[in-house]
Structure 1
């Protein structure tokens, strides 16, 4: 049962990342990092850094 919840939560994070990452100039296949628990945190940090770069322009 725990594996099922893990798959559902992974899908709920991977799918939005597939749409967000290309907007920030990051390859959409990096969304697979959301399967690893700290992968989502790392991707959000990366998006935040890219957002700062976009705001400076």
Structure 2
């Protein structure tokens, strides 16, 4: 039962990441990192760094 919840939460996270990542110049296939623990946190950290780079320009 826990595996089903993990898949549902991963899918709910992957879908927005597919749309957000290309905006920041990151390949959309990196969204698969959301399938592993802390992958989503790492992607959000990466997007935050890219956002800071865009603000500096």
Q: TM-score range by the shorter chain?
A: over 0.9
Stretches of structure 2 lacking an aligned partner (at least 5 in a row): none
Report how far residue 27 of structure 1 moved: 0.1
Match in the other structure for 2:45: 45
> 1:7-46 to 2 correspondence within 5 Å?
7-46=7-46
Deviation, 1:4, is 0.6
Determine the C-alpha separation between the residues in 2 that align with 1:3 and 1:44. Answer: 23
**Cα-Cα RMSD:** 0.4
Q: Gapped runs of 5+ residues in structure 1?
A: none
How many pairs are equivalent? 57
Structure 1 segments, 4+ long, off by >2 Å, are none
Structure 2: how far apart are the matches of 1:41 and 1:2?
Answer: 20
